[in-house]
Amino acid sequence: MELAKYIDHTLLKPFSTGEQVKTLCREAIEYGFASVCVYPPYVAICKNILSEQNIAVCTVVGFPFGANMTSVKAFETELAINEGADEIDVVMNIGAFKEKNFEYVINDIKKVKNICGKHILKVIIETAYLDDGEKVGACSICRDAGADFVKTSTGFAPSGATVADVKLLKKTAGDSLKIKAAGGIKTRAFAEELIAAGADRLGTSSSITIVKS
């Protein structure tokens, strides 16, 4: 298994700097990761470094809580794509979902997907705050809204990816959605378990440790 090709090499600490982002890009080139995942202000830096590489530039929208207005998420997405983002990881409006305002949630995601167009959209449902029935429902909404991936976690919640959640999402999504596992992925063994359970992509800041172990 070429594990690096599953990994979004991630730097989403609140105190991330431009120099750290440049290092992240150089590491992505060295190890052959699928993408780098950074905050929106660093997209242009990454695109400049990676423009000749087969490595995507991923950024986050409505991060980390998903409670932004839809118009803000849409504008943030547009700006990121104009800066060179290839992939968008947007956080679902968890509060609206919990109060069963499903029409709002699906329209929120659709607006972002419409702006993404051919660019990949991953929707973070933050599984730590959902029961199994809600995870299934959130996954179904992502599918119906036209997302490309459903993603487990931001890494800012009390817990992150689990094998059980990946299996549940995979069972729900079938072939209509890909699965990104994120949050707390620190070892090669766990990464391989998640892939075996159905994950198509992994988001982690422990990428180098994982591939070198």
**What Rg, from alpha-carbon coordinates, does the chain have?**
16
Whether 180 sits among the annotated catalytic residues: the reply is: yes
Position 17: which residue type?
T
Contacts of residue 196, defined as CB under 8 A and 6 or more positions apart, other chains included, come to none
73, 135, 180, 200: which one is catalytic?
A: 180
Whether 132 sits among the annotated catalytic residues: the reply is: no
Contacts of residue 166, defined as CB under 8 A and 6 or more positions apart, other chains included, come to 152, 179, 181, 194, 197, 198, 199
131 burial type by CB count under 10 A (0-12 exposed, 13-18 middle, 19+ buried): exposed
Paired tokens of 39: 């905050």
What are the residues facing 87 on neighbouring strands?
A: 58, 120
Strands 7-10 and 35-38: parallel
Question: Whole-angstrom Cα distance, residue 200 to residue 18?
Answer: 28
151, 165, 170, 178: which one is catalytic?
A: 151
8, 86, 89, 165: which one is catalytic?
A: 89
Question: Whole-angstrom Cα distance, residue 5 to residue 108?
Answer: 30
| DSSP state for residue 65 in the 8-state scheme | T
- Give catalytic residues, as residue numbers: 89, 151, 180
